[in-house]
Amino acid sequence: MTAFPARWRVGFDIGGTFTDFVLYDAETASVTLHKRLTTPHDPSEAALKGLEELLALRGIGHAAVSEIVHGTTLVTNAVIERKGAPVGLITTRGFRDILEMGTEQRYDIYDLYVTYPEPIVSRDLRLEVDERMTADGRVVTPLDEAAVRSAAEALVAQGCEAIAVVFMHAYANPAHERRAAEIIRGAFPELRVSISSDVVAEMGEYQRAVTTCCNAFVQPLMHRYLTRLEDALQTEGFTGPLRLMHSAGGLVSLETARDFPIRLLESGPAGGGLATALFAEGAGLRDVISFDMGGTTAKACMIEDGRAEIAPMMEAARVHRFVKGSGLPIKAPVIEMIEIGAGGGSIAAIDEVGLLKVGPHSASSDPGPACYGLGGVEPTVTDANLVLGYYDPGFFLGGRMKLDIEAARTAIARVAEPLGLTVEQAALGIHKVVVESMAAAARVHLVERGKDPREYSMVGFGGAGPAHAVDVARAMGISSVLVPPASGAASALGFLVAPLSFEDVRSLRV
């Protein structure tokens, strides 16, 4: 087998609208960029085709690539859209309802009808067995191994492809969970099993249970996806390592990604945080705000002293998109960032009181904004930007995709006419609504942490970021904006500067 030097490295990020690619040439310290529309029915389709096109731009084959680093929204989308595998839960007797009981905290104490996301595991698939540990890890009730076997058989009979095992105080003593996993895997070798003492070895029963169930929920999906991707790359001649970006800004192996896919929940945005730090360092900036606006969402995070802050927990599938506490608590390290607004594909509409609103629904890549000419008819942020002249209709995606400005104008007219505005006025209104909502959300995020936005610079990137960054910065009182080269694929570039890492946390009694 021919050995290739570590000259070529690839990073690619599968987003909700576009899949971004970066090819790094270590010999010349140069990068080559490429983009393709994401294929929602099978994300690997766009990834594999785009990679082939990227390598063809430099006249090399898959075998010449020494490493591929990948980030994806597949886990996020599966949790939000509930498109994971049928999953069951085996837990300590008396605790099957922990997923619904949650904690006593309410994200809105004045709402009498406050709602939360539906549990990731339905109640009929949550079974109990006899066992119990104390908080310091002493056995109170031995594990009923026969009950574990019976519970697993019952869940498999109901169609479960994965099982989460969450026992009380397993973080202090994982013996019962590990034995339960042995029993289940022995009886059903093809079943994916997640135990809480491996996924989240920390106190906090509710958060530990939710995180473990979510991990099990996406395990079969990610296992199939990664296996299919790995096999396809090997068929093309790639022999190097394929690594995955995790939410805390590091890289993990395929094996780790298969075991702990929930760690990949915010892999794409994490790459954006690393890219922001890289660009800021090159510009001599220490404290910056990253502004990452893609086709589906916009996110922001703070970089202080050249580093992004790591938070111990994140949320997924919020009932209210911008309300903290209204989602599923995922206990896993993550680069701290907030979703501050809509993306380029977000749809504009008139609400029930006759006001213009943008989002949260997105046209995604299928059918996409009206100007893509793929069947979309709803007015989007991208259509508005095209009407305003912010985009060159003949040079989208480097000229590979032509934008239909007449289709964009027709779509914008759907909100312009009821409001008594011209198409241009409505387009500007859409732009301003998006800018103000993003600026307000980012400002609150900083002020809650005692930070003054005026003391920061902003780095704008993502497919739609540069078209909005200056206006968002102006609304926040920020005086300098950096739009870096490769801004449209910054997250994929960030993957290539990420270190190999994996955080392992334990709760200890003191």
pLDDT, tens digit, 9 for 90 and up, residues 120-156: 999 999 999 999 999 999 999 999 999 999 999 999 9
DSSP assigned state of 3: P
Q: How far is it, in rounded angstroms, from Cα 327 to Cα 320? A: 8
Whether the predicted pLDDT of 2 surpasses 80: no
Whether the predicted pLDDT of 297 surpasses 90: no
Is there a contact between 289 and 302 (Cβ–Cβ < 8 Å)?
yes
Q: How far is it, in rounded angstroms, from Cα 212 to Cα 79? A: 13
Q: What is the pLDDT of residue 196?
A: 96
Q: What is the pLDDT of residue 502?
A: 79
Q: How far is it, in rounded angstroms, from Cα 58 to Cα 295? A: 27
Whether the predicted pLDDT of 93 surpasses 90: yes
Average pLDDT over residues 158-164: 97
Both tokens of residue 105?
Answer: 């905290």
C-alpha 14, offset from chain centre:
10
Taking only the tens place, the pLDDT of each residue in 386-428 is: 999 999 999 888 888 899 999 999 999 999 999 999 999 999 9
Pick from 171, 182, 198: nearest CA to 143:
182
Q: What is the pLDDT of residue 3?
A: 43
Q: How far is it, in rounded angstroms, from Cα 146 to Cα 183? A: 9
329: left (phi over 0), alpha (psi -120 to 50) or beta: beta
Sign of CA dihedral 474, 475, 481, 485: negative
Residue 127 placed within a domain = yes
Is there a contact between 457 and 4 (Cβ–Cβ < 8 Å)?
no
Sign of CA dihedral 281, 283, 287, 292: negative
Residue 346 placed within a domain = no
Is there a contact between 503 and 335 (Cβ–Cβ < 8 Å)?
no
Give bridge partners of residue 291 from the DSSP assignment.
300, 460
Instruction: Report the amino acid identity of residue 149.
Output: R
- Termini Cα distance of the chain: 55
Pick from 81, 161, 197, 128: nearest CA to 505:
197
What is the SS3 assignment for 169? coil
Is there a contact between 26 and 4 (Cβ–Cβ < 8 Å)?
no
Whether the predicted pLDDT of 347 surpasses 70: yes
Whether the predicted pLDDT of 364 surpasses 80: no
Q: How far is it, in rounded angstroms, from Cα 206 to Cα 96? A: 11
C-alpha 83, offset from chain centre:
15
Q: How far is it, in rounded angstroms, from Cα 380 to Cα 510? A: 54
Both tokens of residue 383?
Answer: 């259509």
Tokens 């294929």 -> residue: 39
Residue 170 placed within a domain = yes
Average pLDDT over residues 176-182: 98
Average pLDDT over residues 27-56: 91
Spatial CB neighbours of 493, under 8 Å, sequence gap ≥ 6? 11, 22, 31, 271, 275, 278, 486
128, exposed or middle or buried, with CB in 10 Å at 0-12, 13-18, 19+?
middle
DSSP string, 221-260: HHHHHHHHHHHHHHHTT--S-EEEE-TTS-EE-HHHHHH-
Give the chain's mean pLDDT: 91
The confidence band for 4, taking pLDDT boundaries of 50, 70 and 90, is: very low
Instruction: Indicate whether this model's pTM tops 0.85.
Output: yes
Domain of residue 188 covers: 82-218
Residue 134 placed within a domain = yes
Residue 180 placed within a domain = yes
In terms of DSSP H, where are the helices of 106-194?
145-157, 175-187
Residue 198 placed within a domain = yes
Residue 193 placed within a domain = yes
Whether the predicted pLDDT of 265 surpasses 50: yes
DSSP assigned state of 462: S
Taking only the tens place, the pLDDT of each residue in 299-338 is: 899 999 988 889 999 988 888 877 888 899 999 999 988 8
Q: Report the 10 Å Cβ neighbour count for 8.
A: 23
Q: Are strands 162-166 and 192-195 parallel, antiparallel or unpaired?
A: parallel
Q: What are phi and psi of 232, to 5 degrees?
A: -65, -40
Average pLDDT over residues 69-80: 88
Q: What is the pLDDT of residue 481?
A: 96
Percent of the chain with pLDDT over 90: 70
C-alpha 165, offset from chain centre:
25
The confidence band for 1, taking pLDDT boundaries of 50, 70 and 90, is: very low
Q: What is the pLDDT of residue 510?
A: 67
Residue 279 placed within a domain = no
Count Cα neighbours of 414 within 13 Å in the Cβ-side half-sphere: 18
What is the SS3 assignment for 468? coil
Both tokens of residue 483?
Answer: 């739009």
Taking only the tens place, the pLDDT of each residue in 197-249 is: 999 999 999 999 999 999 999 999 999 999 999 999 999 999 999 999 999 99
Q: What is the total count of domains within the chain?
A: 1
Both tokens of residue 131?
Answer: 């066992």
Percent of the chain with pLDDT over 70: 98
C-alpha 403, offset from chain centre:
28
Sign of CA dihedral 354, 356, 359, 361: positive
User: Between helices 175-187 and 145-157, what is the axis angle to 10°?
Assistant: 50
